[in-house]
Amino acid sequence: MNKCQPVALGVAIGSLWALYVFLLVPAALWFGGWGAGLVAPLASLYLGYGLSLGGAVIGALWAFGDGFLAGVVIAWIYNKMAR
């Protein structure tokens, strides 16, 4: 039976989500507001996230934790269901 590694999946999903959340800020600032509509709702979830470099870093940290937890839970559920 193939098992999913919870920590590995958590790191993978957390890293991708953090990168996406981080890159929304420069995209909104450099490309005329592209993605700014998504920054506002995420800022209501991730305290400190906003349209600045510091806000992007804080948002990326929150997003990594959020994505990591989601990846661990997904892997755990997968391993339970695959038995």
Domains of the chain, residue spans? 6-81
* 14-60 pLDDT tens trace: 999 999 999 999 999 998 888 888 999 999 999 999 999 999 999 99
Total count of residues recorded for the chain: 83
pTM tops 0.85, yes or no: yes
Which band of pLDDT confidence, cut at 50, 70 and 90, is reported for residue 2?
confident
Cα separation, 9 vs 15, whole angstroms: 10
E strands, the chain, are none
Helix (H) and strand (E) counts in the chain: 3, 0
Structure tokens of 55?
Answer: 């806000």
State yes or no: pLDDT of 3 exceeds 80: yes
